[in-house]
Amino acid sequence: MNKDQVKGAVNDATGRAKRQMGEWTGNPDTQAEGAAQQLKGKFQKTMGNLKEAAKNAQNDVKQESKNNADDSHLNDEHNRRRDETIVIRDRR
């Protein structure tokens, strides 16, 4: 969880509480302020989720590249065996 997700959750909850308090007290200004803060929190959470997804995708790409580099010796061995098979077939 990143800071945008945390800040967003806090603003969403605080805004929800303010909006509800404005409804209970009949204060439209508090209600509007709470709705605005709640909207801000939802936006922050969404941005945090996008950042987290991008970070995870970047880590996945790095890991895949590392795995491919680790497997390159297997490809070399496969190619060597394939070449040996071709040479054996050509001798027949």
Backbone angles phi, psi at 32, to 5 degrees: -70, -40
| Whole-Å CA distances, 79 to 7, 50, 85 | 53, 41, 10
Give the pLDDT of residue 67. Answer: 77
pLDDT of residue 88 exceeding 90, the answer is no
pLDDT in tens, 10-67: 999 999 999 999 999 999 999 999 999 999 999 999 999 999 999 999 999 888 887 7
Among 4, 6, 2, 13, residue whose Cα is nearest residue 37:
13
Residue 34: exposed, middle, or buried by beta-carbon count in 10 A (0-12, 13-18, 19+)?
buried
